[in-house]
Amino acid sequence: MKKIIATVCGFVFCMAALVGCAGNTEPAEETIDYSKFPNYVNPEDAVYQFDFEQMVTPYFTGNVIYNETVMLIEENGVISGKLQYEPVKILSVRDYTWENEYSSSEYTIEGNVITMNAGGTMPYLTAENLQGKNIPEPYREVTTITNVETDWVLMGPSIYTESSLIYGHQISVSYVYDVRDLKLDDFASYETAGYPKLKEKLNAGDDAKIVAIGDSVAEGCSSSGHFDHAPYMDNWVTQATQALDKEYEGSVTVKNVALGGTQSEWGAAAAQVNKVVAESPDLVIVHFGINDAGGSVTPGTYQDNIEKLIIDVQARLPECEFMLIKAFTPNTANYNPEQFRKYWARLDTIAENYENVYTLDMYTLSQTMLTEKKYMDVTGNGINHVNDYSSRLYTMNILSALIKY
């Protein structure tokens, strides 16, 4: 539990006849402004329940996180992993499918560390496994992936795979946390996010159309629904649109034209611009940068490409708004973080210079998260794809920008 010091008592040199300073030096608990957390529940009343509402509602509007993923790693005979926050109360620990629950006798919680007890049955990997050594069957090392259920490739120091080698060795933890541990500035806010034209339509009950363009993360990799395995969760673009459609009276629909492996240059090409314009969107979600970094695209060229996409679309749809997403960090063992900081600074410049253009920051959120957690806790492929949990964080941040909770 976080505490702050309410009073700092200075020392006063007193005359012998006087009593010394008797100020209260006991730390006082920080007051919680519950108006910032409309979905706050009494920890004693919190129970595990997980349907679409819990899946998409921004956890930072309350004090419960559902199915945060953790990969347990064995090091020096200890099998453990870290949660984002120190739990106030554990609600459930399950496998990645959310269907199979583990008994509380299988694990111990200390601080934000979950440790598997002797005899526990939860899945785990070893530190050696993460280096590509002694990988258990049925997984096989290959040079080119032809079977997404079994194949893996060692890319530099990291394992790349779409198989259950990663997601099947992640557990899902639901728990109550202390909201004083949050960094609220990491998340989107309805009041400051922008998108006034879209919000006006949504609040008036009018229909709205969204188009998403970008790379494999925007396409939906590695959401479980994309690769047709349990728990079969939709990608964040579809999920966020479904949530908006449920929230507002008008119909909210989406066309996702994102394509894996693409860079910003592809997105700025006339063929893609025409696809976007053909849908007459109210909002275009843009998610490029990871493949640009992998291809050593300069920040200047990256900016030029994003600007061209915006200019060409708005020339024909001047009221169209843009959401430029600063991507959730890929694996820093394979990518240079400095390149992303330069890209995201260029997105800020674009948003400042163009009408109806705003940014959504997933990068800062992910950087904060990884001060506690491992990248393998929240990745779907070990290199650059989000898993179901980090995909849900995209959904939550988008909804926080577009719904007043």
DSSP 49-89: --SHHHHHS-GGGBSEEEEEEEE-EEETTEEEEE-SS-EEE
Q: Verify that 220 and 231 share a domain, yes or no.
A: yes
Return the closest-CA partner of residue 363 out of 334, 332, 333: 332
Q: Which helix (H) or strand (E) holds 324?
A: strand 321-326
Q: Per-residue pLDDT for 45 more than 90?
A: yes
Question: Does residue 10 fall inside a structural domain?
Answer: no
Query: Could you tell me if 339 and 212 lie in one domain?
Result: yes
pLDDT score, position 21? 40
Average pLDDT over residues 312-335: 98
Work out the percent of the chain whose per-residue pLDDT is above 70: 93
The reply to whether 104 and 173 lie within a common domain is: yes
CA separation for the pair 109, 91 (Å, rounded): 12
pLDDT at 24 over 80: no
Distance CA 42, CA 48 (A): 13
Helix then strand then coil, in percent of the chain rounded to 5, is: 35, 20, 45
- Tally the domains of the chain: 3
Q: What are phi and psi of 359, to 5 degrees?
A: -115, 155
Asked if 211 and 320 sit in the same domain, the reply is: yes
- Average pLDDT taken over every residue of the chain: 93
Does residue 2 lie within any of the structural domains? no
Residue 71 lies in a domain: yes
H-assigned helices in 138-204: 164-167, 196-204
Last residue of a domain, one of 134, 167, 200: 167
Asked, for residue 69, whether it belongs to a domain, the answer is: yes
The continuous run of DSSP H or E covering 326 comes out as strand 321-326
Please say whether the beta carbons of 176 and 63 come within 8 A.
Answer: yes
- What's the rounded mean pLDDT across residues 153-178? 98
Please check whether residues 154 and 104 belong to one and the same domain: no
Is 372 part of a structural domain of the chain?
yes
* DSSP strand pairing (113-116 vs 151-155): unpaired
Mean pLDDT of 258-286: 98
Same domain, 316 and 250: yes
The angle at the Cα of 175, spanning 65 to 224, to the nearest 5 degrees, equals 50
pLDDT value of position 29: 73
User: For position 26, what pLDDT does the model report?
Assistant: 57
Main-chain phi, psi angles of 95, to 5 degrees? -80, 180
Whole-model pTM? 0.93
Do 118 and 138 belong together in one domain?
A: no
Report if residue 308 sits inside a domain.
Answer: yes
What pLDDT is attached to residue 2? Answer: 34
Q: Can you point out the beta strands (E) in 164-300?
A: 170-177, 208-214, 252-256, 283-287
Look at residue 6 in the predicted model and tell me its pLDDT: 28
Judgement on whether residues 65 and 205 belong to the same structural domain of the protein? no
- Taking the alpha carbons at both ends of the chain, their separation in whole angstroms is 26
47 has a pLDDT exceeding 70:
yes
In the predicted structure, residue 248 carries a pLDDT above the cut 60: yes
Domain range for 79 is: 34-122+169-177
Q: What is the CATH number of the domain that holds 248?
A: 3.40.50.1110
What's the CA gap between 365 and 183, in Å, rounded?
9
Three-state DSSP class for residue 107: strand
The verdict on 194 and 289 lying in the same domain is yes
- Boundary-marking domain end, from 142, 158, 177: 177
Same domain, 323 and 252: yes
Point out the domain boundary residue: 177, 210, 242. 177
- Please check whether residue 333 lies inside any domain of the structure: yes
DSSP 8-state secondary structure symbol assigned to residue 189: -
Same domain, yes or no: 357 and 255: yes
Question: What pLDDT digit, counting tens, does each position of 66-118 carry?
Answer: 999 999 999 999 999 999 999 999 999 999 999 999 999 999 999 999 999 99
Residue 311: closest CA among 346, 276, 260? 276
On the question of pLDDT at 19 being above 70, the answer is no
Tell whether 15 is covered by a domain: no
Is 265 found in the same domain as 134? no
